[in-house]
Chain A
């Protein structure tokens, strides 16, 4: 029995705080990299221009 290679199930209550805190923070990072045009960052189109080539080549609508 390869008990050690079979993934152990993590109980959901232990996972919940990580999901509730981590996912929104990481989604915000992804939003700032991929989509922000000043609405959240408040730096105008600076992020748009800095991430410009990455946005085009990662395939998100850029402009």
Chain B
């Protein structure tokens, strides 16, 4: 049973990842290209003014480790493998939640869990530390920013767990239960948004429209992944739950 769920999560995650990759390719790649063009123009100017130019740790041109066409193919590799890993973890967590927490129907639980995962793991960190295109972000601070990002993910997950436990304790009807769960979720999340250090490494003069469009596209990529994955996983679980009954009826 666990094995079936895990395989389902891995395969549907891979599929949803590739679909999200297609969305990112169509809407995201033009913005990445624009940002790289700005980055290269800025570093060329920099190298001109300070001869010898400080060794840039990240190259996109002909001297790069991986060429641009390969990086574009790598987009699908990245979103596909991301989907595989996330889908597998999701399926194992789902196996533990089934019959314990959330909606009673298989499809309903799959879809609801994917929606909650999107809010907790994607939206909560995104609000504090939004996605950045190339040229935005100082390579020197990558480790610190990665840690802060992961802290936000953990806050989102912990707040979700506390909200789920709270919802079970409140027995005063669905409205009170939902209100309590949302409040208990938002308190630690809002505290983290307020208290964790902010990051602003947008270079002077970087076009605001490009930054906004890139961030929207990045959030859209994750939304496509979780919506497609949740729908496929829920559908597959519903179908599997119905199959034995159909076999029984046919017998």
Contacts and interface: CB of A to CB of B under 8 A. Distances in A.
Contacts of A23: 89, 92
Contacts of A44: 65
A45 B142 CA distance: 13
B178 interface: no
B218 to A, nearest CB: 5
B78 interface: yes
A60 B82 CA distance: 12
Residues of A contacting B: mostly: helix
Interface residues of B, number: 66
A55 B109 CA distance: 29
Interface residues of A, number: 40
A54 B77 contact: yes
Interface in B1-32: 1-3, 6, 21, 24, 28-29, 32
Interface string B96-135: 1011100011100100000000000010011001111110
A58 B32 CA distance: 13
A22 B66 contact: no
Contacts of A49: 64-66, 71, 74
Contacts of B125: 59
Given A46-B65, A49-B71, A50-B66, A63 B139 contact: yes
A7 B78 contact: no
Nearest to B222: A59
Interface stretch (B168-176, B179-187, B238-246): B238-246
Contact of B96 (A12, A30, A56, A58): A12
A27 B129 CA distance: 21
Interface of A: 4-10, 12, 14-15, 18-19, 22-23, 26-27, 29-30, 33-35, 37, 44-46, 49-63
18 contacts: A6-B99, A7-B99, A7-B241, A8-B98, A10-B1, A22-B6, A23-B89, A23-B92, A33-B78, A33-B82, A50-B78, A51-B78, A53-B72, A54-B21, A56-B131, A58-B221, A61-B129, A62-B134
Given A54-B24, A60-B149, A62-B137, 17 more contacts: A4-B241, A10-B98, A12-B96, A14-B2, A18-B92, A23-B92, A33-B85, A34-B78, A46-B65, A49-B65, A49-B71, A52-B66, A52-B134, A54-B21, A54-B78, A58-B78, A59-B126
